[in-house]
Amino acid sequence: MALLEVSNLDVRFALRQGEVRALRDVSFTLDRGERLGIVGESGAGKSVAAFTLLNLIAKPGYIADGSIRFEGNDLARMSARELRRVRGNRISMIFQDPMMTLNPVLSIGEQMVESLKAHRRISTREARAIALHKLKQVYIPSPETRLDQYPHELSGGMRQRIIIAIALLLDPDIIVADEPTTALDVTIQAEIMTLLRELCEKHNVGLVLITHDLGVVSQMTQRTLVMYAGRVIEQGPTREIINDAQHPYTQGLLNALPQMTTPGSRLNQIPGSMPSLANTPSGCAFHPRCQYRYDASGQPRRDCLEEVPEFVTSGNCDVACHMVRDMLAKEAS
């Protein structure tokens, strides 16, 4: 059994314009020590997915359907008390903005000791020793002095290291990282990512990495989930998705990268933009932007327009696309 098993997750937000479906029928699994990337552009629902994993969706959002099974227990139906035992302890989260996690009026040491003591029966001295050990693991220079410093005294990269140290504090099974390096510079991003990857490998920690950057996904993860308008549209081994994407959107996303065309020539753009979740197109949500939405005679395909595509398996990937389904059927026959 997988460590984390998300099935048919449906998250909605009750807004004044009506109900907005942020996640639709999202399913995936994560094994112990596996690194999974969730890729998508803004509005794809990837951050909602991250928050939902810890059942952190707050009003007006709610989990309408589906389950999040962690070691067989459904987080979507746990009491607040049971959830507290999981959050931070077994599954921890790294946010985009370090200051979302760090309390500006407490020193780094106080914050680390506090969360240790909240989950374990240990003395302050023991907790401090563990905190120090974790700071050393993330290669923070002069960790002893850092313990007594306040978040604002540290640089952005240093803060994000401390966030990683805090995420590792209770030896979790899974780390959920929501765009952990978006606010940082490239050189710092590269360091933090390498660090995160090494730590996950060394301690056999599962990682769910939410990002918009396909380059980061390709370097960090073993499996990738591509999201569009609240749905998963393609998932499979990262290498396969990067090298041989099946879904037209994933292909478009990869081809749009500047490194995919010779310098100076026009980039391969996807026309249009991501639909708002309140106003998702019928059928396949990508169809208005998809170049394959016409059939051989140049007519718009009815299935793309009307039916939500089911997953079909192509190689090791699952793809939700009518065009891919037809191609596979043709190959088989």
Partner 1 sequence: MNAVAAQASPVTTSQNHAEAESLLEIRGMYKHFPLADGFLEQLHFEKGRLVRRNEQVHAINGVDLTVRRGEALCVVGESGCGKSTVARLVMGLLSPSAGEIRYDGQRIDNMRGKRLLPYRQRMQMIFQNPYASLNPRMTIQQTLEEPLRFHHPDWTTPQVQDKVDDVMASVGIDPEWGKRFGHEFSGGQRQRIAIARALAVDPEFIVADEPISALDVSIQAQVLNLLMDAQAERHLTYLFITHDLAVVEHFGTRVAVMYLGTVCELADTRSLFARPKHPYTQALLSAIPRLEDDRPEHVRLSGEVPTPVHLPSGCVFHGRCPHAMERCRQEVPQLIVTDDGNQVACHAVEEGRI
**Does residue number 188 form part of the binding site for partner 1 (CB under 8 A)?**
yes
How far apart are CB 165 and partner 1 at their closest, in Å?
17
Q: Which CB atom, from 66 or from 248, has the smaller least distance to partner 1?
A: 248
Q: Map the footprint of partner 1 across residues 148-187, applying CB under 8 A.
A: 155, 157-158, 185-187
**Does residue number 42 form part of the binding site for partner 1 (CB under 8 A)?**
yes
Q: Map the footprint of partner 1 across residues 195-224, applying CB under 8 A.
A: 212-216, 218-219
Q: Which CB atom, from 148 or from 185, has the smaller least distance to partner 1?
A: 185
The strands making up 231-237's β-sheet, listed across from edge to edge, are 91-94, 174-178, 206-211, 35-39, 223-228, 231-237, 317-320, 311-314
Q: Which CB atom, from 203 or from 239, has the smaller least distance to partner 1?
A: 239
How far apart are CB 255 and partner 1 at their closest, in Å?
8
Among 11, 76, 225, 253, binds partner 1 (CB under 8 A): 253
**Does residue number 259 form part of the binding site for partner 1 (CB under 8 A)?**
yes
**Does residue number 274 form part of the binding site for partner 1 (CB under 8 A)?**
yes
Residues binding partner 1 (CB under 8 A): 41-42, 155, 157-158, 185-191, 193-194, 212-216, 218-219, 238-239, 242, 252-254, 256-259, 261, 263-264, 266-271, 273-274
